[in-house]
């Protein structure tokens, strides 16, 4: 509670107001303050009391009709709320933001790929394709699909005419489709477990496109190597050529990143022992995929930073050229 003001006694005569406290007549300016500026009267805001109370604000550089008191933190141009882009300090205009994006160096994986949130997406898709083809080949279409997709090749020396891959380019699709074909549960289980173990690691290191190229070309190289050696009479299937290509690239990755290489070498040796000791396994596709994967791994992971994209693209193209050359050469030899 605020105490009441003390009242003047009623019998005491009122003191006249000081001259400075008396308000001058209307239209006459009041006396000036110590600096000389008038403190009241029509001259307080200049000649025209009806003018604006403040100077007009500048208009947005993109929307001149909109007044704004905010300026871009980089270039200083006025920007309205619609054009403001939040920055670490203040706001920036759209032009400065887009220019900074163009000049900024984009993040990449260790070997030039684009980093992504899901580093195993391509691996999951490859496993899904293999599983779908397995179900169709083993339980739906059975022998029919296996005959159409396998790496089957019969030269004219057997029946007097060529069949399968040896027949010519119209059958060369088998070099790829055979790498997605399995008819035994143990076969697809072991291949997909190996793919899940190595795939995400290589996919995150190389990026999706380079990793997919490594997988597909390694599978093609395994098929081509098998055809080059036994194209006159053979029938092969499975993703093992591509899987061994991932083994070869993983060895190179461990060397490149100076990771202890013992575990991957032990697993690779174990698989090679099975390859050469168990009957019914096409060692040619395994060896061809392994050599191609290791060679591509060196080209993809040891490419100089200044010419990385060029060297990596040349590596993939060169390996594809070797695959095509081997297939063409063997087909010509068989049909000579």
The residues that are catalytic are 240, 286
Its sign, for the CA torsion 113, 117, 122, 127, is: positive
Burial classification of residue 171, based on how many CB atoms lie within 10 Å of its CB (0-12 exposed, 13-18 middle, 19 or more buried): middle
**CA Rg, the chain, in Å?**
41
Q: CA-CA distance, 251 to 297, in Å (whole number)? A: 9
Place of tokens 């993809």: 300
Q: Residue 238 has which token pair?
A: 């499975």
- Give the containing element (helix H, strand E) for 321: helix 308-334
d(CA 107, CA 290): 31
Q: Report angle CA 177, 250, 276 to the nearest 5 degrees.
A: 65
Distances (CA, A) of 315 to 176, 293, 335: 19, 11, 31
Q: From CA 89, how far away is CA 257, in angstroms rounded?
A: 38
CA–CA gap between residue 291 and residue 319 (Å, rounded): 11
By the 8 A CB rule, do 313 and 211 touch? no
β 151-154/163-164 pair status: antiparallel
Q: Which residues contact 308 (CB under 8 A, 6 or more apart)?
A: 111, 112
With residue 177 as reference, give the H or E element that holds it. Answer: helix 174-177
Residues 6+ apart with CB under 8 A from 14: 8
């Amino acid at each position: 509670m605020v105490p009441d003001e003390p009242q003047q006694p009623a019998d005491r005569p009122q003191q006249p107001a000081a001259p400075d406290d008396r308000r001058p007549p209307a239209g006459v300016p009041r006396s000036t303050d110590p600096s000389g500026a008038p403190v009241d009267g029509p001259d307080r805001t200049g000649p025209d009391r009806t003018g604006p109370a403040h100077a007009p604000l500048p208009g947005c550089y993109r929307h001149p009709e909109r007044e704004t008191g905010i300026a871009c933190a980089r270039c200083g141009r006025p920007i309205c709320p619609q054009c403001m882009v939040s920055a670490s300090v203040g706001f920036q205009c759209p032009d400065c933001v887009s220019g900074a994006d163009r000049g900024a160096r984009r993040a990449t994986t260790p070997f030039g790929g684009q980093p992504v949130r899901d580093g195993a997406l391509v691996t999951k898709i490859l496993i899904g394709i293999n599983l779908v083809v397995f179900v169709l080949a083993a339980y739906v279409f059975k022998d029919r699909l296996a005959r159409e997709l396998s790496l089957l090749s019969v030269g004219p020396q057997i029946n007097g005419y060529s069949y399968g891959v040896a027949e010519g380019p119209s059958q060369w699709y088998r070099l790829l489709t055979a790498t997605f074909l399995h008819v035994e549960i143990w076969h697809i289980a072991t291949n997909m477990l190996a793919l899940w173990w190595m795939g995400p690691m290589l996919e995150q290191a190389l990026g999706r496109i380079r990793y997919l190229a490594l997988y597909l070309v390694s599978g093609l190289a395994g098929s081509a190597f098998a055809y080059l050696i036994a194209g006159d009479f053979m029938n092969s299937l499975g993703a093992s050529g591509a899987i061994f290509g991932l083994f070869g690239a993983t060895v190179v990755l461990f060397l490149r990143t100076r990771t202890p290489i013992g575990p991957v070498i032990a697993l690779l040796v174990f698989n090679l022992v099975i390859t050469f000791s168990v009957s019914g396994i096409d060692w040619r596709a395994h060896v061809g995929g392994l050599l191609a994967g290791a060679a591509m791994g060196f080209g993809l992971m040891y490419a100089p930073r200044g010419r990385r994209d060029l060297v990596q693209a040349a590596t993939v193209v060169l390996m594809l050229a070797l695959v095509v050359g081997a297939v063409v050469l063997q087909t010509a030899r068989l049909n000579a």
